[in-house]
Amino acid sequence: EAGVAQSPRYKIIEKRQSVAFWCNPISGHATLYWYQQILGQGPKLLIQFQNNGVVDDSQLPKDRFSAERLKGVDSTLKIQPAKLEDSAVYLCATRGDRGLAGELFFGEGSRLTVL
Amino acid sequence: ILNVEQSPQSLHVQEGDSTNFTCSFPSSNFYALHWYRWETAKSPEALFVMTLNGDEKKKGRISATLNTKEGYSYLYIKGSQPEDSATYLCALTDGSGNTGKLIFGQGTTLQVKP
């Protein structure tokens, strides 16, 4: 079974520029998450999708971050304009059909550096 | 907002030492407790998911216990090896709202010296 694919792996941009991250989940996994992991902190949930609907985006900074999941499969996370404090690893994760106690399957992450 | 605390923040041990980490969480709204291992430049991978008070799970030299009444879980590594070097993340499935949201602790970074 193919895992969760993310791209790009690394991105360096200047502040106020924009960036987009892409996630291709495991086939059939309906629930998809984007997490932000800042160095020294635990991953923080940005947005959760169930198929192509948003379940939770309470911690997404909506003035600069946006995310979509077209047709309930691939997802993109965009930051525009980026700030220095957005430097982090952006993790995409999906969950299968084991209900709320099911484990998450993660991609390798996209590491963003904002200069 | 639920808070998940892990300790210690980092740990350096010699090969062959046994070690353990702690994850503390509020016992209300508990649904499930996860442990993940995150090696540098790789994806975090699930070690255990536990749901019942008193649960004990084991995978090779790694084991975990769960106490939902007092709100803690321990992760044990017996006879640490250099390949165990990683960040170990604890996460709580939030039982409120029925979304299955995972709330992560800040992680414990383990370095095992040969």
Average pLDDT over residues A57-85: 95
Q: What integer pLDDT is reported at residue A106 of this predicted model?
A: 96
From the list A42, A55, A107, which residue is nearest B89 (CB)? A42
Q: How many contacts does A have with B, using Cβ atoms within 8 A?
A: 63
Of the candidates B91, B99, B105, the beta carbon closest to that of A56 is on: B99
Gap from A81 CA to chain B (nearest CA, Å): 27
| H helical segments located in chain A | none
Q: What is the pLDDT of residue A98?
A: 66
Residues 12-71 of A with CB under 8 A from B: 31, 33, 35, 40-45, 48, 55-56
The answer to whether the CB of A50 falls within 8 A of the CB of A31 is: yes
State how far the Cα of A80 lies from the Cα of A99, in Å rounded to an integer.
Answer: 34
The mean pLDDT of chain A is 93
| Section A74-98 average pLDDT | 93
Locate the chain B residue with the closest alpha carbon to A97: B100
pLDDT in the model for residue B1: 62
- Residues in CB range of B60: below 8 A, 6 or more apart: none
Q: Which stretches of chain B sit within 8 Å of chain A by CB?
A: 4, 6, 31-32, 34, 36, 41-46, 49, 51, 89, 91, 93, 95, 97-107
Q: Which two tokens stand for residue B44?
A: 């975090």
For chain A, how big is the Rg over CA atoms in Å?
Answer: 13
So what's the pLDDT on residue B30? 78
